[in-house]
Structure 1
Amino acid sequence: MKQTFKYILVFLSFAYLLASCNVMKRVGEDQFLLSGNTTMVNGKKVNTEAINNSYYQKPNGKLLGYPLRLHIYNLARPNLDSILKDKIYNDPKKLAWKTRLLSRKQLDKDVQSRLDFNAWLKKTGEAPVIVDLPKTEKTTTNLSRYFISNGWFDVQTSYSISKTDNRRASVTYFVETGKPYILDSISEKIASPVVDSLYQNFKKESLIKSGEQYKETNFTNERERLTSALRNSGLFHFGQDYITFDIDTIGSSKKVFTDLIIKNRSIRYEDSIARVPFKIYKIKQVNIYTDHTYTNKETETLDSIEYKGYKLYSYGKLRYRPKALTDAVFISKGELFRDLDRSRTYRYLTDLKVFRYPNIEYIENAQDTTLTANIYLSPKKKYDLGYEINVTQSNIQTIGFSLSGGLIIRNVFRGAETLEMSALGSIGSSKDASISQDQFFDINEAGGNIKLTIPRIFFPIRTNKIIPKYMSPSTRISVGATTQRNIGLDKQTLNGTLNYNWNPSKRTTNSLDFFNLQFVKNLNPDNYFGVYQNSYNTLNDISNSIDYNNGEDLTYPGQTDQFINDVLTGNTSITPSDDDFETVSAISERQNRLTENNLILASSFNYVLNKRENLLDNDFSIFRFKFEVAGPLLNTFSRWTGSKKNANDQYEILGVAFSQYMKGELDYVKYWDLGRKNIVAVRSYLGMAIPYGNSNSIPFSKSFFSGGPNDIRAWTAYNLGPGSSQSINEFNEANMKITLSLEERFNVLGNLNGALFVDAGNIWNIADNVNDDRATFSGVDSLKDIAVGSGFGLRYDFTFFVLRGDIGFKTYDPSYDLGERWFKDYNFGNAVYNIGINYPF
């Protein structure tokens, strides 16, 4: 308590210190603090991102309306080094007194620490933004340039400064655009005949079109488009500098006359420059050096082979099947030079993951207009071995040790394949081990996984026409198994996957699980109520309420199973109309669901459209779609073989009823960059899984949950829903989910950022064996059970990752009765504190 009071006192003292600082402390008597910018365009206020980016001066940033960084800056003392020098070092008496208390070295260190802290205040804070006339005039120039670049050539700009008695001032910028200029005739002046001929093929896609308003960005983008198109048509020496636009606005007709000018190629000699027409270049030869290194670059090659027009060289025995390498090269003998082929070759060779970044160079043949392409490959090590040892502790484990290791073998079958083998082993001691008759290490797990990645589609039928190699197709085959013994249900799992990946475009990723096999066997289902204590306590309370076990607690599994059976068969005083009967029935259904063995054979397709250009792009969207279907093959097999159904009318394979369901997911994320490190992000998610045929419910591993640091942050994971039910379960899950999130992110100071957020959503059961109306989605009316959480957070950007802390408050809680759901537990005592890595979406 004393420690908490200490922290509160420090915080209040710091807050008082900031609040008592005069915001005008560092503003001179004849200076004015900038309080705001306004731009009036043709008499109307405009506040777009482009306008904001034109301001040379912007007011000091604020956190929730408070200029925190300005106050921090004001805490720093100007010219502190001179002050300390005059007060200490230039005063012999004070210096002598100081050095008697401290050594000279300690004194210097103390002075330097004060200087460092003062410098930190300046760096962390933000100097007051003083209205500066030259910068204000530069802003008007920026505004003029912006409107001129978008076709308003007659734009007029001015400004006025409104000053107050407390030395604050705001600037208003006035823009009169006039009428925009429209593109009229567009003519071409192309010097090289071959370029002129090619241009006629590209002309119809031109971004500069007669009748449209002049925009400078269209001319810039047209230059880039033409350069790319011509360099992908054999013009090896062509560059963007050869393209210019001559723009004429003669007269007062507000029309723009444009000449597209493409010059001849320039060749620079020692004392002159010659202009010659461009020529189309073809690839004469492609050489692939398969094991190029700095040490052997001067060594004569010992092995070479020609395969489908390619020449492959090696400094020892060729370690790769030729087809594996030539399939990764898009530069072909006899074809035109294309920049696109070079970039695709770079990407595909890198994606093989058996070479370091390749080097591609073109050598011009002087005798003709041909090129020799040399591709230099530097192999990575064939074998990589890694391991990791961990010591862990948790609320159920006093101590645990784990050892994991992995072996990577590259080019395992000489086709640039990568084989990864990993294994995991762990032992631990539960908190009950010391009082148990069992061995001390009563928790253990062992498992292994093998994954083979093939850099092409591995399929009996040729797929080159459907998925061409420029899409970087790959195949992943994996098999894994684990067995674990803990204080839970204990499990054995077996999984196998055949997966295909390809990228139709730079922004699009497709993934197909041709099949995904999962088998889960619970080894200790009798310990169910030992794991799920909430369910046990509820069941035990109902038993005691009717004195079922003579006032004694139920033991499990014997007495708990017997009590459930007696209730459901009418052998107790509890009737089907009682609430306790429904509770016991729900506990029984969940017990059967979570202790049943699972056999899942599923196929799924995953589509991702990511419009983010790079890590610095904060104005983009991401769309994800996934569809999964499980069980139809096993169902067909069971019918064809005449398999009999069990007592629950289900087919079984190896004694396990296989799952059959369809599952779909839609996920959309959108970012808006508002400037000055202010970003608004929105996420919407809809997921639904429908059991059919051999199943009346979804496997637990395939169901949806709500809550947690990346979901509805006002609830912990698995703690929300389903619907408006007041669930007693440790893990709440269902087969339908809706999530909506809105978050504003802003800079606080330095690398510290803040966020305000609102999350909404819930899970429900639909078309399965759950009969609780409160947990079931019944249409639009069920949307009233969408939970709402709101809160705030802080994030520190370490560049390579973001450490995130969020506090979520239950704003609308559907577990309460209608009319009592808003702000029922809206306080810090019932808040959820989340810690996460990187952003939630």
Structure 2
Amino acid sequence: MSKYTLSCLLLSALFLAACTGTRNLPEGELLYTGATIKVESKTTPKKERKALKTALTPLLRPKPNSSILGLKPKLFFYNLAGEPKKDKGFRYWLRTKVGEPPVLYSKVDLEYNKKVLQNYAENSGYFNTTAVADSTRKGKKATATYTLDPKRQYKIRTVKFPDDSSAVSIAVRKTQRRTLLKKDQAYNLDIIKLERERIDVRLKEKGFYYFNEDYLLIQVDSTVADHQVDLIMKVKKEIPALAQNQYEINKIIVYPNYKLAKDSIVNDPKATVQYNDFTIIDKNNLFKPRIFDRTLYFKKGDLYNRTNHNLSLNRLVNLGTFKFVKNQFKVADTTGNFLDAYYYLTPLPKKSIRLELLAKTNSANYTGTELNLNWSNRNLFKGAEQLTISAFGGLEVQVSGQNNGFNVYRFGTEANLIWPRIISPFKFHSASGYVPKTKATLGYEFQNRTKLYSLQTFKGSFGYLWKENERKEHLFNLTEITYASPQNVTALYQSQIDSLPSLGKVIEKQLIFGPTYSYTYTNTMEKRKKNTFYYNGKIDLSGNITGLATGANIKDGNTKKIFDVPFSQFIKIENEFRHYLKLSEDSQIASRLIVGAGFAYGNSDQMPFIKQFFNGGTNSIRAFRARSIGPGTFDGSKTTNTFLPDQSGDVKLEFSTEYRAKIYGLVKGAVFLDAGNIWLLKDDPDKPGGKFSKDFLNELAVGVGAGLRFDFSFLVLRTDLAFPIRKPYLADGNRWVLDKVSFGNGSWRNENLVFNLAIGYPF
């Protein structure tokens, strides 16, 4: 054995010894390395014993030091750092953030853990369970062993609901159909608690405002049969009188100018306005009374229910006008069972100004900064209308790619006015906690692409936003208008148009107008679910009615213009579906599928450039430069030696999947695979191979890669390094290039490795 090999073995042995964590233990202490639970029973089936053991394991305290393959790296770094002299610096960071102190056996309470396990087993129907706790010492380490003997599990024989004639008992009895307690189901104390909560929730929907789940008693009779129980539900005798009554809404009083700092409740008749069922006390006349009639669900005479209670509060918050929303119900000073509802609303400042400095990336692989100045009026016409006027300016550069040096400068302004209602001749009702809104937008942007051209864009839209619930959202624009006009086209860009005429489409004047609709469904906010989804579907229609009315047909030379600009006529549909598979608290598999198509007709023979599809870049197929893929088998990189023109198409198919996992602290990692392409619906002589055909699957670009995500909570900085494994522009049969991957070859790296720097996750 060589000296080098011997030295390596000795160093490895020392490292392994250090990772065990016993070297720096206090005198007389042992390192706690975990516990074993044994479930031994002659009367309990093996399947039940296994399930019980799985449920019991997380209950043990304390948790031993984390380990990997028997090693304890966090404990190693804790010991390596030693005792820091200051509460800062590298040593302090290494010990407190990277390291982990030893879990000492002296902190283990065997008797307490034994009782916890025993109680859980008995609460799960294993009555008269016995438990024994013991420990084993080996060197400077100690482990614990807990042995349980659960008896045969008790099952539910019958469930009896209250049978007396009181109003509250009758209401409880009416909930029986949806009970969580089923015959022949195993006895479980947690299910019993959930049943009480369920009944309480249901009674709150039926006017029992003062009822509480603690007023329900569920008695257990285990003497009725062999390992069976009867559950007898009762309303406690000492229940308060208020909790026995159903209540209707009487007065609804709103204080829309309530101040937390001082008593702002006044009883001045001059400040009081009666509007339908509402009493509005607003001495400063800040809000029109009708806004509360639209926002609050309760009306005089309604039976109290918790759903309308919460929806009303949600809608008040959703108006975006109030800083604090407080609600109170009091028994009315009148005959009968009535509640007066009080709403105390603290407004936000009516006007505000905000300056923002943003870091951003876009689909064209450009990274840059943007400065935004926003002025807001949150109550423009005293109906909680929100007017926002913003001015912005920014610079975007391409970190890597052929367009490096062709920077983009942008500035512009935008005005948005949002009404907290649907402005329409038709009646619209939304029974959700989100206020339906009408939105009007006007905007102007000037974009200068250095060395190429400038583009002025005017935009306007008018439409509606509404949410059915937190999962489903709709956006319908009655009309969305875009007018784009080029300026300052350079000789460089004009020379490229001469050799590739399709580049001229980018700088054509464009007039696009028509309705758009978008629907979004998501349940990704439900963190406990293993599988979550996101779906967004869009349809974009432009010039359809105008084209039909004027008989526009570009094929017959009958092109129609508005303000001397041919208007675009097309139909565009796009669907995006995402799936998130949660593997653990710190890891998941995220996947995305995008399918879209646009069809130009009538007054247009091609989709307008700004409405076409693109592929490649930081949020797309990351192994290819931004907007460089396709269409089809066309290779756009050979069209110019100066810059890489954006390749666009009428049809898009894209798929991505990536494994995401936490590496340490704020650092997360991912490995991913992206695939897709774009195609044209019509032949283009300048882009051979670009037309969509039945062989489209054989024309997909595929790339793989890995990256880091630095999650700073206020932003996520993402770095991805990717390379292609399938190039659609190569000859058929030679498109897979996995066998040509050569990380050690400089020319291969220069041609194939693509580095992406972006803000946020790709999806």
- Which position in structure 2 is the counterpart of 1:664? 574
1:126 matched to 2:88? The reply is: no
Deviations 1:692-735 (A, max 9, x none): 42355443333343444444444453345555654414434443
Q: Quick one: which of 660, 663, 667 aligns to 1:753? A: 667
For 1:195, what is the secondary structure of its paired residue? helix
Deviation string 1:785-835 (CA, Å, 9 cap, x unpaired) is 351413242534x34444444444545555666475226446494544444
Aligned counterparts of 2:511 and 2:52: Cα–Cα separation in 1:
58
**Given the superposition, is the C-alpha separation of residues 347 and 657 from structure 1 closer, same or farther in structure 2, using an over 3 Å criterion?**
same
Does residue 1:682 correspond to 2:590, yes or no? yes
* Cα contact 2:421–2:437 (8 A) shared by 1: yes
- Aligned equivalents of 1:298, 1:218: Cα separation in 2: 45
Partners of 1:769 and 1:447 in 2: CA distance: 37
1:726-776 per-position Cα deviation (integer Å, ceiling 9, x unaligned): 44144344431222313231252xx33332322222223163445868656
Residues 1:472 and 2:471 aligned together = no
Distance 1:50 1:715 in 2: 48
Contact 2:209 / 2:243 at 8 angstroms: preserved in 1? no
The residue type paired with residue 22 of structure 1 is A
Structure-2 residue corresponding to 1:97: none
Q: Percent identity?
A: 19
Q: Which has more radius of gyration?
A: 1
Change (3 A) 1:825 1:502: same
Q: Which residue does 1:291 correspond to in 2?
A: 257
Judged with a 3 Å threshold, the aligned counterparts in structure 2 of structure 1 residues 778 and 35 are, in CA distance, closer, same or farther, namely farther
Which SS does the other structure have where 1:422 is aligned? strand
In 2, Cα distance between the equivalents of 1:155 and 1:703?
Answer: 69
Q: Which moved more, 1:499-508 or 1:817-826?
A: 817-826
Which residue identity is paired with 2:653? K
1:249 aligns to what?
222
1:379 maps to amino acid = P
Q: Within 5 Å, give how 1:38-117 maps onto structure 2.
A: 42=46, 53-56=58-61, 60-61=65-66, 67-77=72-82, 80=83, 112=86, 117=91
Give deviations 1:107-143, integer Å, cap 9, x for gaps: xxxx547998257414421235567894678767666
Q: Specify the code of the residue in structure 1 equivalent to 2:258.
A: H
Secondary structure in structure 1 of the residue aligned to 2:219: strand
Structure 1 segment 588-607 matched on structure 2, within 5 A: 588-589=501-502, 591-607=503-519
What are the equivalent positions in structure 2 for 1:296-695 lying under 5 Å apart? 297=264, 299-301=266-268, 302-316=270-284, 318-368=285-335, 369-387=337-355, 405-424=373-392, 447-464=412-429, 467-468=430-431, 470-487=433-450, 488-525=452-489, 529-530=492-493, 556-557=494-495, 564=499, 587-589=500-502, 591-613=503-525, 619=530, 621-631=532-542, 634-643=543-552, 645=554, 651-653=560-562, 654-672=564-582, 674=584, 677-694=585-602, 695=604
Amino acid at match of 1:282: E
Deviations 1:186-233 (A, max 9, x none): 101366711122234332222223244445444333222221221222
Tell which deviates more after alignment, 383-392 or 686-695.
383-392
Whether the aligned pair in 1 keeps the contact of 2:574 and 2:595 (CA below 8 Å) is yes
Alignment of 1:738-777 (within 5 A): 738-748=654-664, 751-765=665-679, 767-769=681-683
What is the DSSP-based 3-state SS (H/G/I as helix, E as strand, rest coil) of the residue aligned with 1:594? helix
Question: In structure 2, do the counterparts of structure 1 residues 740 and 401 end up closer, same or farther at CA, with 3 Å as the change threshold?
Answer: closer
Shift of 1:364: 1.8
- Deviation of 1:390 after TM superposition, in Å, equals 10
Aligned equivalents of 1:236, 1:371: Cα separation in 2: 9
Change (3 A) 1:670 1:377: same
**Over aligned residue pairs, what C-alpha RMSD do you find?**
4.5
Partner of 2:641: none
After TM superposition, the structure 1 = structure 2 runs for residues 788-803 of structure 1, keeping only pairs within 5 Å, are 788-796=703-711, 798-803=712-717
**Higher helix proportion, which one?**
1
TM-score relative to the length of structure 2: 0.79
Aligned to 1:717: 626
Deviation per residue, 1:515-564 (Å, 9 max, x gap): 3222222234565x53xxxxxxxxxxxxxxxxxxxxxxxxx44xx555x4
Q: Which amino acid aligns with 2:33?
A: L
Q: Aligned partners of 1:818, 1:172: CA distance in 2, in Å? A: 61
Mapped to 1, the partners of 2:134 and 2:108 lie a distance apart of: 13
SS in 2 for 1:235: coil
Measured after TM superposition, the shift of residue 415 of structure 1 is: 1.8
Residue-pair matches, total: 707
Residue deviations 1:249-298 (CA, integer Å, cap 9, x gap)? 3366443321222325644xxxxxxx677111222211112322244626
Maintained 8 Å contact 2:631/2:680: no
Structure 2: stretches of 5+ with no match in the other structure: 1-10, 40-44, 361-367, 398-406, 638-643
Q: Contact 1:608–1:622 (CA<8 Å) still a contact in 2?
A: no
Deviation of the 1:459 alpha carbon:
1.0
Opposite residue 665 of structure 1, the aligned amino acid is N
Which SS does the other structure have where 2:22 is aligned? coil
1:490 is paired with a residue whose SS is: strand
Following the alignment from structure 1 to structure 2, what is the Cα–Cα distance between the partners of residues 727 and 174?
70
User: Residues of 2 paired with 1:517 and 1:411: CA distance?
Assistant: 27
Q: Look up the equivalent residue of 1:483 and give its one-letter code.
A: F
Distance 2:109 2:631 in 1: 58
Name 1:34's counterpart in structure 2: 33
Whether the 8 Å contact between 1:192 and 1:277 is mirrored in structure 2 is no
> Residue type of the partner of 2:255?
Y
State whether residues 683 and 691 of structure 2, in contact with CA within 8 Å, keep that contact through their aligned partners in structure 1. Answer: no
Q: Once the 2 structures are TM-superposed, how far is the Cα of residue 452 of structure 1 from its aligned partner?
A: 1.0
Contact 2:329–2:340 (CA<8 Å) still a contact in 1? Answer: yes
Change in CA separation of 1:127 and 1:280 when aligned onto 2, cut-off 3 Å: same
Letter aligned with residue 346 of structure 2: S
The secondary structure found in structure 2 opposite 1:330 is coil
What secondary structure sits across from 2:308 in the alignment?
Answer: helix
Pairwise CA distance, 1:179: 6.3
- Alpha carbons of structure 1 residues 331 and 30: separation in structure 2 relative to 1, 3 Å: closer
TM-aligned CA deviation for residue 478 of structure 1: 1.0
